Amino acid sequence: MAAGIGIVVVALVTSLFMAFTVGANSNSAPIAPAVGANALSTLRGALLVGIVAGLGAIAQGGSISETIGHGLVTGVSITPLAAAATLLTAATLITIGNSYGYPIPSAFTVSGAAVGAGVALGGGFALGTYAKILGFWFAIPIVEGVMAYGLARVLLGDRVPDAISVPLLMGGVGYALANVQLSFVPTPAGPQGSIAGWLTHRLGGLTGLFGGEAIVAVLFSLVLALAVLAVTYWQLLADVTRGINRILIALALVVVFTSGGTQVGLATGPLEPVFSSALGLPGLALLAFGGFGILVGGWVRSPRLIQAVAREYASLGPKRSIAAFVPAFLIAQAAIVLGFPISFNKVMISSIVGAGLVGGSSSSDGISLRKTGYTVGAWVGSMVGGAAISFALYRLLAAVLGAG
């Protein structure tokens, strides 16, 4: 009994360590373009990363946490010892990457480690889930790169004035924000709903007047989109330079919030069975636990990674940074809806590369191809290595402790 409690404690500590590492590693990337564009200082960016990513973890982390905890292996339920092996392996590999200034993709590492420990536990491969997740991962750099490149060309070109292009783009972001899933927004189908959906349900009498719930949700979303568009236009009208910088910071915080929602599940997912069975605590408590670790990690360790992404991968101006943020936000929200774990380093770097290509490939304005190549190698190696190490670590711990 005492050994079982001790393993649960070890699993909790390693989850907190993993959340700390994720806060330092993955959630720092979204703020980097704002720092690179000199719209925000590194230290202030690190402070905001911790707070906003922690809130995003609690508000949007449930679906990906569920996938990591229950969807990657079949036939077994992850035990506290397997959770500890998964998280210890992943957090150690990511920390090593941080120490050398290379952002290691948390999703690749944790997913590989979770599969390795689950198979060592006697589980089977969830091949259908892997195919969907891998397809999504492979699509990210292509879709994001094209979107970021196209938006950067529009924003940097002379055909569409800033007073039109930027407000329209921000209006689209506002529309999307009205429909993001939030854990604290109740719906008839469950706790994970959107603001537009909640308002539609609360004002049910309007659905007949306007022709159905879907129409009412669209109308509410359009209202928020127009409000964001108007505020953006007013900011640019008052002062173009200051307005763009404020818009850049606002977008950065939206993306950081989203990153917290996508990344906390990597730390809390292996503990889903532990919290529900061994501790009897609700999923929101698990997300709050992970969100706290992300907050502390963002405050303590993110400045170095912010500098690495902002300065070494590409030097983006404010407009190209905006072009990088929007695809990252949309892709990450799609991952949350689908419950697919993603690496936010990969998401942000794909957008940064796409937007940065508009400026060419000079040493001062382009992309570090050598650095990018090393990072791709780290992505592949972290997933394969994470699976192998986690498998071996679980088998070793199980043999030493005589537990499963």
Q: What is the pLDDT of residues 180-207, one digit of tens each?
A: 888 877 665 555 677 777 777 666 555 5
**Bigger pLDDT: 275 vs 366:** 275
Mean pLDDT of 89-99: 79
Number of domains in the chain: 1
Mean pLDDT of 127-148: 91
- Residue 196 domain flag: no
**Can you give the three-state secondary structure of the chain, one letter per residue?**
CHHHHHHHHHHHHHHHHHHHHHHHHCCCHHHHHHHHCCCCCHHHHHHHHHHHHHHHHHHHCHHHHHHHHHCCEECCCCCHHHHHHHHHHHHHHHHHHHHCCCCCCHHHHHHHHHHHHHHHCCCEECHHHHHHHHHHHHHHHHHHHHHHHHHHHHHHCCCCCHHHHHHHHHHHHHHHHCCCCECCCCECCECCECHHHHHHHHCCHHHHHHCCHHHHHHHHHHHHHHHHHHHHHHHHHHCHHHHHHHHHHHHHHHHHHHHHHHHHHHHHHHHHHHHHHHHCCCHHHHHHHHHHHHHHHHHHHHHHHHHHHHHHHECCCHHHHHHHHHHHHHHHHHHHHHCCCCCHHHHHHHHHHHHHHHHCCCCCCCECHHHHHHHHHHHHHHHHHHHHHHHHHHHHHHHHHCCC
pLDDT of 132 higher than 90: yes
- Residue 158 domain flag: no
Q: Which domain holds residue 48?
A: 2-147+257-401
Mean pLDDT of 137-153: 91
Mean pLDDT of 209-214: 57
- pLDDT for the residue numbered 1: 45
- Residue 271 domain flag: yes
pLDDT of 142 higher than 70: yes
- Residue 172's pLDDT band, with cuts at 50, 70 and 90, is very high
- Residue 275 domain flag: yes
Mean pLDDT of 234-246: 87
- Residue 56 domain flag: yes
Percent of the chain past pLDDT 70, that is, above it, reads 83
- Residue 202 domain flag: no
Range in 25-29, 233-237, 371-375 with the lowest mean pLDDT: 371-375
Q: What is the pLDDT of residues 325-334, one digit of tens each?
A: 999 999 999 9
Q: What is the pLDDT of residues 350-397, one digit of tens each?
A: 888 888 887 654 334 445 566 666 666 767 788 888 999 999 999 998
- Residue 299 domain flag: yes
Mean pLDDT of the chain, nearest integer = 82
